[in-house]
Homo-oligomer: A and B are copies of this chain.
Amino acid sequence: MSTAENEKSVQTAQRKGSLLSFRPDIKVLDATLRDGGLCNDFRFTDEFAKALYKANVAAGVDYMEMGYKASKALFDPQKFGKYKFCDEEDLRAVVGENPSPMKLSVMADVGRTDFRKDIGPKKDSVVDMVRVACYVNEIPRAIEMIEYCAKQGYETCANLMAVSKAKEEEICAALDMLGNSPADVIYLVDSYGSLYPEQVAKLTLLYLEYGDKYKKSIGMHAHNNQQLAFGNTIEAASWGASYLDMTMNGIGRGAGNCSSELLLGFLKNPKFHLTPVLRFLTDYMLPLRAQGTVWGYDIPYLLTGRLNMHPSSAIAFLRAERSDYAEFYGELQDRD
């Protein structure tokens, strides 16, 4: 679809649902252990993970992401907590047989997962969904993984990262290829936290065009570099995205994600409950922050987001205990 056509579709499209009603198709996914794990090398205690599981079940969360399925050949298990690898026995230590209605997901990065070795048949696992994360130029490798995981019996999901860097024709080609794959859900991922709500609206309508054609649900994963993670998530939802990622207090790499407390405070489906989330914030997220784990909006992340760049240089800036924002902004523009 051309840009002009997409412009027209935003003008003529209708938002789905209303602020006072709810859409039963909307599902929320808690990514606290996975995206939050990027803040502490996945070193969450068993107590934290178990309490998170209970809080999510009580809050009516649809999916809880337990972490990554990272390759132990590429990443030293001594250097990371267990949620980077999500071994089956480690998951069961947290969720047992998962008797709850909440489903469990793991994320597998293209090129960083020994998927044939580490992802076995669904019948032997408490995991329900595998989410495959890839860049636009990695679609064939992502589809290989999605096909493998679907054959193993899992729900599958494609998280197309960093679309703010991709051209629209590339995104369309990727959506077409993923449309022809077994993926159940295709995610719009604002990896750099650079998208404004108007852009999210246009991209969501573009994704939905392919979603409608190929019978796929569309998801939204936002970052908070410009304090737009929640705003962009409900913008995408209002046009029809139905899988929405969130984390407790917005924990996640750099500026973090859409906060569970904001999203569950907004959604009107009576199956969702805010109070278990609030208790978890008091009992576990405040101590986590007090013990030194750092995340959330900060000026360096705004600057990488505004310039549509990976947050890595902002993370390095803060680790170096620098606060000369103007000089950093100059350096980023030289680098761009």
Contacts and interface: CB of A to CB of B under 8 A. Distances in A.
B230 A228 contact: yes
A92 to B, nearest CB: 29
Contacts of A235: 197
5 contacts: A197-B231, A226-B266, A227-B227, A227-B262, A279-B326
Nearest to A230: B227
A109 interface: no
Q: What 4 A-B pairs come out closest when comparing CB atoms?
A: A231-B231, A278-B325, A278-B326, A265-B306
Task: Please report whether the interface of chain A is mostly helix, strand, loop or mixed according to DSSP.
Answer: helix
Contacts of A152: none
Contacts of A249: 299
Interface string A1-36: 000000000010011000100000000000000000
Contact of A329 (B266, B278, B306): B278
Contacts of A11: 14
A234 interface: yes
Contact of A227 (B15, B224, B323, B330): B224
A259 interface: yes
A282 B227 contact: no
B325 A282 contact: yes
A266 B196 contact: yes
A286 interface: yes
A310 B234 CA distance: 24
A302 B261 contact: yes
A199 interface: yes
The winner among A259, A279, A303, A325 for most chain B CB atoms within 10 A is A325
